[in-house]
Amino acid sequence: MGSSPNGILAYGYALGGADGWNIREVDEYNGIDPDKVTWYDEDDDDFVTQAEKRLLVASGFTETDWQAEGYFDRKREAVARVGVEFRYHGNHDYLRHSLVTKTITVEWGDAKVLDLSALLAESAEHGWDDKLAAALTALGITPTQEKPGWLLCTYYG
């Protein structure tokens, strides 16, 4: 079984990854500076898992007992309240991360017709910029990207 290139159109911020971060809170090697991003444990390379946990706690979800009745329903509701997600792009050797509110994917050999005016209306209607700003505040990071925008990314999957 092989891998194929695919495309992602997503609204948000391109944050970068282990081969270089696109945020202001970096050290001299362009890695996340744990003195500036205090929740980040540099010994645990899984930035996304740590960041998602931080966002859930900021939304008020602090449960850890996944065996408790209704846990997954409550967690799903908390994730919906946060209103953002992390998307990977690149390839397995050089994963990059984006913090996004909307994602459209196209698999190898496929095409999708987009209604750009509907996407702009959806952005305003659902407050995507506000959700992204709240997530950045909770994470304590500042993207080098000036403002959120449409990101056209590739991934090899």
Task: Check residue 44 and give its pLDDT.
Answer: 79
Q: Which two tokens stand for residue 139?
A: 């994470």
Report pLDDT for 90.
Answer: 85
Domain count, the chain: 1
> Helix or strand or coil: residue 8?
strand
Q: What is the pLDDT of residues 9-66, one digit of tens each?
A: 999 999 998 789 999 999 999 989 989 999 998 887 689 999 999 999 999 999 989 9
Residues facing residue 105 across a β-bridge? 8
For the cut 60, the answer to whether the pLDDT of residue 83 exceeds it is: yes
Q: What DSSP string describes 84-152?
A: -EEEEEEETTEEEEEEEEEEEEE-TT------HHHHHHHHHHTTHHHHHHHHHHHHT--BSSSS-EEEE
Q: Which of 95, 96, 79 is nearest to 23 (CA)?
A: 96
Residue 157 pLDDT level (bands cut at 50, 70, 90): low
pLDDT tier for residue 155 given thresholds of 50, 70 and 90:
confident
Residue numbers of the domain that contains 99: 5-156
Is the pLDDT at 73 greater than 90? The verdict is yes
